[in-house]
Structure 1
Amino acid sequence: MPDNSEDGLEERRRRLGASLGRIRADDVKEAKAEASAEESRKGFANAMKLSSEFISAIIVGVGLGWTMDWYFGSTPWGLIFFLLLGFCAGVLNVLRATGAVPTRLSAPPEGKKDENNRGGV
């Protein structure tokens, strides 16, 4: 009789181990899917940020150009100039946001002086 209960316990332990293994595998798959979805959301958010920065720079350029043309009566030259200026500013904003262009030149180290004993290189 004790032999039968031991076999029953072993069988139940084996079934429990197998079901826990399946649950753990499902958890790993779910975690990978969630990480992939999170990465996709980050990419979409970054794309929206970059496109809005680009478009807003162009809109500001067009607005300034149109205002300058209306005020000075120089139609269409102010609009053309500021449209191109807004386009260049938008491209520069996108390049800065992606890290392709540094935002500012870094300051020289504290102890470094140039030939005129000023704080520059």
Structure 2
Amino acid sequence: MTDPDDKAKLDALSARIDAIKDDHAPKTRTPDHHSQAQLAWRMVIELVAGLGIGFGMGYGLDALFGTSPWLMIVFIFLGLAAGIKTMMRSAEEVQSRQAAELAEDETHPQG
């Protein structure tokens, strides 16, 4: 049969192994508060807002100056350009944040 001393040694060894596993276990990633769907909606809203503001400004200036529809068309295109620029800025922001997280993970490996 097994010796009680051997059983104590096995229990101590098992405890040490469990402690080492706990120390080197990969930490769970916290969910990002910006999911991909939220990012997509943010970009769509930025684009639509740019178009809407351009339309409103163009329509108002056309009504003021009587140049219908030329200023509205020009400002719609300017609003589209502004919306796309804002979307690109948001995408760069997210990309730089993800690159920073990746670099942090590489400098501090979990296992």
TM-score band w.r.t. shorter chain: 0.5 to 0.7
Residue type matched to 1:8 in 2?
K
Residue type matched to 2:29 in 1?
E
How many residues align? The count is 91
Identify the residue that residue 10 of structure 1 maps to in structure 2: 9
Render the CA deviation track for 1:17-48: whole Å, top value 9, x for unaligned. Answer: 444455556x41xx2x516x43x837666555
Instruction: Point out where structure 2 has 5 or more consecutive residues left out of the alignment.
Output: 94-111
Residue type matched to 1:34 in 2?
R
Deviation at residue 6 of structure 1 after TM alignment: 1.9
Identify the residue that residue 29 of structure 2 maps to in structure 1: 34
Render the CA deviation track for 1:48-87: whole Å, top value 9, x for unaligned. Answer: 5544433322211011011122223332222211101111
Identify the residue that residue 104 of structure 1 maps to in structure 2: none
Hey, what's the Cα distance between the residues in 1 that align with 2:19 and 2:41? Answer: 42
Deviation at residue 11 of structure 1 after TM alignment: 2.0
Farther off after superposition, 4-13 or 82-91: 4-13
Deviation at residue 91 of structure 1 after TM alignment: 2.4
Hey, what's the Cα distance between the residues in 1 that align with 2:50 and 2:23? Answer: 50
Match for residue 54 of structure 1 among 37, 47, 56: 47
1:81 counterpart SS class = helix
Residue type matched to 1:88 in 2?
A
Identify the residue that residue 90 of structure 1 maps to in structure 2: 83
Task: Tell me: higher relative CO, structure 1 or 2? Use CA pairs within 8 A at least 6 residues apart.
Answer: 2
Hey, what's the Cα distance between the residues in 2 that align with 1:62 and 1:42? Answer: 30
Match for residue 75 of structure 1 among 61, 68, 77: 68
- Quote the RMSD (CA, aligned, Å): 3.5
